[in-house]
């Protein structure tokens, strides 16, 4: 079978099967190198060169895992129906985005995680949420001008301490969960494991398409999933994106990241799809009073806590918010609203969580040979390997 310089063949144009074989061989090589390291230490021989080899084996194995776990999918899978989306006068759906943690690298004694969370609501859903939240605030606090805010709520800081009344604390949590459950919204999020991202992708240049800033990566990955949500709905709506305002300079930088995504697209979604399904500019809102940005604040804190626990712990409002995560079909390949990155060592935990949220993994039937070859010839120039 003919192969090119990258090890790809006519029957395996993206080299995924070859990557899977390499993962097996590299895993075995890693175990042998570890055993050799132990023997060298017992013999009192320096193993510095072996450690360099072990790091290289680890990098190569992770790269092959990322490649082998994907599938071939066209960048042009999202259909655009008009050259000027604003003239279509489509109804708007709002996406409110908040953050948790710091996107910049931090010292080792700090928490090396960053999260971006968004909730999508129609205008009617926004009105219903604000009415329900005001009623809840008046019931428990006697006023409606305060703002639900994390992490103060889970720490029971004032006014959520309720003078130490445990029964009232539990009643408030229950009422808030009920409000979240009956509010019609769809959740999206990205959790970036900064240390792994810096080591595997920034320092080693594992993926030249990715930005080197964690915030920029999170914005792109969240918008990719929001566009998938918009493009696969039966009703065609235009996405209007709002961020919590972090300050004049920060807002400008986020606007720049957003504009670059709509201007250039990403490795997985073309710029035309972003421009068709999203408004061309961001909106920035300070956190005050009753607003759906409160839901985004609760949601992104839960994402942060979940990623920090290596996706094994259920945060405070996870039961109410998790069922709101966007999930289409098997939940893989960009069809699930919550992304953890990098995730090669947490794949089992992440997939188990997706199944709990409604994903239905199933083995895809292989297309007939002639149909597959025809598809390869037709779209080989635009096909990509799309990771989870």
Select from 193, 219, 197 the least CA-distant residue to 206. 197
Select from 352, 272, 264, 333 the least CA-distant residue to 16. 333
User: For position 374, what pLDDT does the model report?
Assistant: 47
User: How far separated are the first and last CA of the chain, in Å rounded?
Assistant: 29
Select from 268, 239, 255, 259 the least CA-distant residue to 385. 268
122-145 mean pLDDT = 95
314-331 mean pLDDT = 89
Q: What is the rounded distance in angstroms from the CA atom of residue 318 to the CA atom of residue 312? A: 12
Q: What is the rounded distance in angstroms from the CA atom of residue 303 to the CA atom of residue 286? A: 21
CB 295 within 8 A of CB 129: yes
Q: What is the rounded distance in angstroms from the CA atom of residue 251 to the CA atom of residue 286? A: 11
Is the pLDDT at 177 greater than 60, yes or no? yes
If one compares 244 and 61, the residue with the highest pLDDT of the two is: 244
Q: What is the rounded distance in angstroms from the CA atom of residue 143 to the CA atom of residue 337? A: 34
If one compares 258 and 388, the residue with the highest pLDDT of the two is: 258
- Global pTM reads 0.74
120-127 mean pLDDT = 96
Q: What is the pLDDT of residues 265-295, one digit of tens each?
A: 888 888 999 999 999 999 999 888 899 999 9
Strand partners, 99: 116
Select from 241, 323, 292, 240 the least CA-distant residue to 132. 292
163-183 mean pLDDT = 94
* Average pLDDT over the chain, rounded to an integer: 82
For the chain, the structural domain boundaries read 1-72, 88-356
Q: Which of 1.10.10, 3.40.30, 3.40.50, 3.30.420 would CATH assign to domain 88-356?
A: 3.30.420
227-254 mean pLDDT = 92
Kindly state the tokens that stand for 8. Answer: 């790809």
CB 300 within 8 A of CB 116: yes
């Amino acid at each position: 079978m003919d192969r090119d310089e990258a090890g790809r063949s006519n029957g395996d144009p993206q080299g995924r099967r070859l990557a899977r074989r390499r993962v097996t061989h590299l895993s075995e090589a890693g175990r042998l190198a570890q055993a050799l390291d132990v023997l060298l230490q017992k013999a009192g021989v320096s193993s510095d060169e072996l450690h360099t080899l072990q790091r290289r084996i680890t990098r190569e194995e992770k790269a092959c895992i990322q490649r082998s776990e994907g599938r071939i999918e066209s960048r042009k899978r999202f259909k655009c129906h008009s050259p000027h989306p604003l003239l279509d006068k489509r109804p708007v759906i709002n996406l409110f985005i908040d953050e948790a943690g710091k996107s910049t690298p931090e010292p080792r004694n700090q928490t090396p995680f960053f999260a971006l969370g968004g909730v999508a609501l129609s205008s009617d859903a926004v009105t219903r949420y604000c009415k329900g939240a005001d009623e809840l605030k008046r019931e428990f606090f006697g006023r409606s001008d305060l703002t639900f805010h994390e992490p103060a709520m889970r720490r029971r800081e004032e006014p959520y301490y309720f003078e130490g009344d445990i029964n009232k604390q539990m009643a408030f949590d229950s009422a808030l969960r009920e409000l979240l459950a009956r509010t019609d919204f769809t959740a999206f999020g990205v959790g970036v494991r900064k240390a792994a991202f810096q080591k595997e992708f920034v320092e080693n240049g594992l993926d030249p398409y990715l930005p080197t800033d964690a915030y920029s990566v999170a914005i792109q990955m969240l918008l990719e999933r929001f566009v998938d949500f918009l493009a696969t709905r039966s009703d065609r709506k235009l996405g209007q994106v709002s961020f919590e305002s972090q300050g004049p300079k920060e807002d400008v930088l986020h606007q720049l990241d957003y504009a670059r995504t709509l201007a250039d697209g990403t490795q997985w979604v073309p710029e035309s799809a972003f421009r068709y399904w999203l408004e061309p500019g961001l909106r920035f809102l300070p956190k005050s009073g009753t607003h759906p940005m409160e839901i985004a604040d609760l949601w992104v804190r839960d994402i942060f806590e979940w990623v920090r626990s290596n996706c094994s712990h259920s945060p405070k409002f996870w039961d109410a918010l998790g069922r709101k995560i966007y999930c289409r079909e098997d939940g893989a390949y960009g069809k699930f609203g919550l992304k953890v990155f990098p995730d090669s060592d947490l794949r089992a935990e992440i997939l188990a969580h997706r199944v709990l949220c409604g994903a239905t993994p199933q083995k895809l039937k292989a297309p007939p040979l002639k149909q597959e070859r025809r598809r390869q010839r037709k779209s080989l120039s635009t096909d990509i390997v799309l990771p989870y």
